[in-house]
Amino acid sequence: MITNHTKHRLTAGETVVGCFLRYPVGTLAEFMALGGWDFMVFDAEHGALQPRDLEDLSRACELHGVTPMVRVTTNEPSTILRFLDAGAHGMHVPWVDSGAAAEAAVQAAKYEPRGSRGLAATRSAGFGLQAPIGDYVRQSNLETLVVVQVESAEGVDSVEELVAVDGVDVIFIGPTDLSHSLGHVGNPSHPEVQAAMERITKIVTASDKALGIFVGTPADALVWGDRGARYLLTGLEPLLLASTKSYLETVRTTEGATT
């Protein structure tokens, strides 16, 4: 049965750091897990990942004590069921715009009595071989991490509803989609977008939920950590691009100095 180290650390008031990965390559997931992340989020919303991919991706994380998460494609019980059954220890749900939508996400992620998730002897349940099914249900309800994403004007207006939903663990700001929704495409630094993010921040940090956000650089992560975010998530691509640029600039500058 799963032990969600990331959820335990959040509950203890700690900060956790993770990375998005949207490629169905178990070896890459294992390589990244060895880097020391607290959690990995396998991105089915903006990637080609299928539920079957989560089996190997989750195994790769579990080998090294890293929490495997998934960003599902949509807030639908049948979709959430398949990704969690494959082995993810929790989920990001995009475009959660109301308390009712947040409640639906929790219902889909949790078994009775909190939710209505379908039950079977799947990988997440240890194929029914590791423990009595009743023990698994109780453990899963405790350990499954539910992250709801606020990335629209409607979501910003509904933050008070989101933090009131039992079973939601993290309220996550999606800066790019939020800027799009507010009419400032690709400009999260616009004052209107910043005001919306500040509203979310104040409400969430005053609640029992953790504040999460996507950060593109280490500097952004430090800024948001100071603002109270405890669930910090970046992407593989920004890391690779920054490293590539730094390498090429250094090498080419050195070459120019020696010719």
List residues bridging with 92 in a β-sheet: 71, 147
- If we measure between CA atoms, which residue out of 48, 236, 231 comes closest to residue 150? 231
Give the CATH architecture of domain 5-258: Alpha-Beta Barrel (3.20)
Report the 10 Å Cβ neighbour count for 152: 20
Arithmetic mean of pLDDT, 57-70: 96
Q: How confident is the model at residue 129 (pLDDT cuts 50, 70, 90)?
A: confident
What are the pLDDT digits (tens) for 222-239?
999 999 999 999 999 999
Based on the residue annotation, tell me whether 46 is a catalytic residue of this protein.
Answer: yes
Ranges of each domain in the chain: 5-258
Q: Is the predicted pLDDT of residue 259 greater than 60, yes or no?
A: no
Give the whole-number percent of the chain exceeding pLDDT 90. 90
Name residue 170's beta-bridge partners: 147, 210
Residue of 46, 89, 184, 190 with catalytic role: 46
Beta carbons within 8 Å of 8's beta carbon, 6+ residues apart: none
User: Among positive and negative, which fits the CA dihedral 235, 54, 74, 232?
Assistant: negative
